[in-house]
Amino acid sequence: MPVKNRFAELQAEITAWRRDLHQNPELLFDTHRTAGVVADKLAEFGCDEVVTGIGRTGVVGVIRGKATGSGKVIGLRADMDALPITENTGVDYASRTPGAMHACGHDGHTAMLLGAARYLTETRNFDGTVVVIFQPAEEGGGGGKVMCDDGLMDRWGIQEVYGMHNWPGLPLGSFAIRPGPFFAATDIFEVAIDGRGGHAAKPHETVDPTVTAATIVTALQSIASRNADPVSQIVVSVTSFVTSSEAFNVIPPRVTLRGTVRTLTPENRDLAQDRFEQLCTGIAAAYNCSASVEYIRNYPVMVNHDDQTDFAADVAREVAGDCAEASLVMGGEDFAFMLEERPGAYILVGNGDSAMVHSPEYNFDDEVIPAGCSWWAGIAERRMPAA
Q: Is 32 annotated as a binding residue?
A: no
Is there a contact between 82 and 338 (Cβ–Cβ < 8 Å)? no
Is 106 one of the annotated binding-site residues? yes
**Cβ(295)–Cβ(187) below 8 Å:** yes
Is 104 marked as a binding-site residue? yes
Helix-strand-coil percent breakdown of the chain, rounded to 5? 35, 30, 35
| 22 annotated as belonging to a binding site for a ligand | no
Cα distance between the two ends of the chain: 17
d(CA 17, CA 11): 10
SS3 230: coil
Residues 308-325: b if buried by 16+ CB within 10 A, e if exposed: bbebbbebbebbbeebbe
Q: Which residues contact 67 (CB under 8 A, 6 or more apart)?
A: 127, 128, 386, 387
> Annotated binding residue at 199?
no
Distances (CA, A) of 94 to 21, 101, 123, 269: 10, 8, 34, 39
In angstroms, rounded to a whole number, what is the distance separating the alpha carbons of residues 243 and 69? 64
What residues are designated binding site for Mn(2+)?
104, 106, 139, 165, 358
What residues are designated binding site?
104, 106, 139, 165, 358
